[in-house]
Amino acid sequence: MRVLAPTWLSEKKIIAMLNAKQQWITNKLKEQNALLATRPPLPVIAEDTTLTLFGKPFSISIKSGTKTQFVFNRGRLALIISTRVKPENVQAHLSKQVQLFYREQLQAQLQNRLPILADNMGLVYQKVSVKNFKAKWGSCNNRGELDFNWRLAAMPFETIDSVCIHELAHLKHLDHSRDFWALVAKYDPEYQFHKQVLRQYSTQIWF
Ligand SMILES: [Zn+2]
């Protein structure tokens, strides 16, 4: 922990203040540790690790080769790591390859589905991108640009549609007003259910 104090405060005074705050600090640290302990442990990507693509499980195999790349074939994702990668960096390279695979898959899915969903809602968007968001599934700005989190590729098609409909609805209402939710409900009557599915999957995608 770092203590920030104005320079005119004497050390004696600072220590006295810290002592008075001691109980509060101890409690805060305990709270933080309890919070960290409840989070699921972070699994590593290893041979036969199972992940999901569009809601369906697939397994991972790890090989070494001359070039770092991935190959998806018959429900198995082969992650090939260059022999030049140092052992301590292998895990980071594996995560990166999985992310690239998911990005590619989501990009293709969005290119298929967004034009259909937008047309159905009578809305026009300008651009779509796949992003590495940490805390949101998608976004829409006032220039009509839509962004989606690559982690969505792990989820069932209907769940991805639901996120698309949500962001498309923002083309008309750039807020979460009553009118916005009415528009969402019109095209995605099950949006509450899909929200729960999103929450479930978010605990499984850790990297
Ligand atoms: Zn929103």
Q: Is the model's pLDDT at 1 over the cut of 50?
A: no
Q: Strands across the sheet with 69-73, in order?
A: 50-53, 56-65, 76-82, 69-73
Measured in angstroms, how far is the CA atom of residue 191 from the centroid of ligand 1?
Answer: 12
Residue 128: the pLDDT is 98
State the sign of the Cα–Cα–Cα–Cα dihedral 102, 100, 151, 33: positive
Mean pLDDT of 25-41: 56
Measured in angstroms, how far is the CA atom of residue 84 from the centroid of ligand 1?
Answer: 44
Residue 30: the pLDDT is 65
pLDDT in tens, 3-31: 455 555 566 666 676 677 776 666 666 66
Distant-in-sequence, close-in-space partners of 163: CB < 8 Å, separation ≥ 6:
137, 138, 148, 152, 194, 198
Mean pLDDT of 186-190: 98
Contact 148, 106 (CB under 8 A): yes
CA 190, 191, 196 angle in degrees (round to 5)? 105
What is the length of the chain?
207
Measured in angstroms, how far is the CA atom of residue 105 from the centroid of ligand 1?
Answer: 23
Measured in angstroms, how far is the CA atom of residue 39 from the centroid of ligand 1?
Answer: 26
Burial, 38: exposed, middle or buried (Cβ in 10 Å; 0-12, 13-18, 19+)?
A: exposed
CATH topology for 90-202? Zincin-like (3.30.2010)
pLDDT in tens, 58-94: 999 999 999 999 999 988 999 999 999 999 999 999 9
Q: Is the model's pLDDT at 200 over the cut of 90?
A: no
Measured in angstroms, how far is the CA atom of residue 152 from the centroid of ligand 1?
Answer: 16
Q: Where are the domains of the chain?
A: 11-40, 90-202
pLDDT in tens, 96-135: 999 999 999 999 999 999 999 999 999 999 999 999 998 8
Measured in angstroms, how far is the CA atom of residue 85 from the centroid of ligand 1?
Answer: 40
